[in-house]
Structure 1
Amino acid sequence: MKLEDKPLVEIKEAYFSKYSSGIKGGGAGFNVHISISDKLEQDKKLSGIYFKEKYANLKFNEPNIYTAFIRTKKPEDTNLDAINSSIKDDKTKEVLKDDFPFQLKSNEAVLVYMIKEKKKYFKVLLEKKDIGIPQ
């Protein structure tokens, strides 16, 4: 996978924060927040992110803001009860990549975007933010 030299969009803000569910077995991971300067043209879209040796789909939340959720443990390792472990949301699904395609530092991520159904990749630096959630 080839990284683009020039990004598709201007990134206003890009950060990640750790989260913990606050209940035993509820899990922990990272929330990723990407804010872009301008609205994307109709034939372009941000679709996913590679971060911490995992891939997650990006979710469009507000004008020019995208988020992703990345668990640090597999669901079966979190001791969730049967009700919680059966809930799945394919739009925010994360996938562990056995052969992760990029060499990234701890604060680097690769955004995946589509231009007329063709995938492109570019690297971004994510700032670490503590948002007041106990760890």
Structure 2
Amino acid sequence: MRVIKNSFNVLVFLLMMFSFSQCASTKKVQLQEEFPVEFGEVYFQKWTSGIKEGGSGFDFYIYFNHELPTNIDLDSVYFMNKVAKLKKSNASSKLFIAHFKEINKNQIVLSNEPNAEYSNKLPLKLTKQPFELKSNQCIISYIKDSVTHYYKFSEVIEKEPLLYPSAPNNKQ
């Protein structure tokens, strides 16, 4: 009886160790060799607001030569160690845009009064990207037939930045 109990304990221990070892293994993302639709133009454009509170960032554009099939939905783009959701443009069904906004550290209020710091936003948690990319590469995440796929695009172009004018001075 004692042998059965000891062997049962060892079996349970091994089973637990095996199940926890699966949690530690990292899942490698499989990149697709081809994208289902031909790309037109893929570029990003930095922008800077004309007012201090407006901030800065960049917009990422993907233009396709043809409309996406109904079984494909674009999800996100990984670019410059950041990730953002892709949204279909209202102007064209072939154009998708992702907005990346830089965090303005000047907008953080530090005070002895807790109420003065109430408007501070929580900082975004940086997550380690599962991809190593060069400065002209991005990963496009898309869903095809309810399965998420990833495609590496290697010819991202940088266009001239948009510099918005500053707001007029209201002082007289």
> TM-score surpassing 0.5?
yes
Structure 1 residue 23, shift from structure 2 partner: 0.9
Q: 1:28 to 1:123 in 2, by over 3 A?
A: same
Unaligned runs of 5+ in 1: 87-94
Note the C-alpha offset of 1:96: 5.9
Aligned to 2:58: 30
User: 2: distance between equivalents of 1:117 and 1:85?
Assistant: 38
Instruction: Give the strand-richer structure, 1 or 2.
Output: 1
Q: What's 2:4 paired with?
A: none
Secondary structure at the counterpart of residue 42 of structure 1: coil
Deviates more, 1:123-132 or 1:63-72: 123-132
Shift >6 Å, 4+ stretches: none
Corresponding position of 2:48: 20
For the aligned residue pairs, the C-alpha RMSD in angstroms reads 2.5
d(CA) in 2 for partners of 1:12, 1:114: 20
Q: Secondary structure at the match of 1:130?
A: strand
Task: Show the counterpart of 2:100.
Answer: 70
1:59-116 CA distance string (max 9 Å, x none) = 101220000111232x6x351899x988xxxxxxxx7651111101112111111101
Equivalent positions of 1:90-105 (< 5 A) are 97-105=126-134
In 2: Cα distance, 1:48 partner to 1:133 partner: 26
1:107/1:120 CA distance change after superposition, 3 Å: same
5 Å matches for 1:99-114? Answer: 99-114=128-143
1-side partners of 2:44 and 2:138: how far apart? Answer: 10
Q: Is the 8 A contact 1:26 1:80 kept in 2?
A: no
Distance across 1 between alignment mates of 2:96 and 2:37:
13
What is the aligned residue count? 123
How many percent identity over aligned positions? 28
Query: For residues 102 and 108 of structure 1, do their structure 2 counterparts lie closer, same or farther at Cα, with a shift above 3 Å needed?
Result: same
TM-score by length of 2: 0.63
What is the alpha-carbon distance in structure 1 between the residues aligned to residue 54 and residue 162 of structure 2? 18
1:123 deviation in Å? 1.1
Give the SS at the match of 1:31.
strand
Aligned-partner SS, 1:17: strand
Structure with the largest fraction of helix = 2
The TM-score normalised by the length of structure 1 is 0.79
CA contact (8 A) 1:27 1:78 kept: no
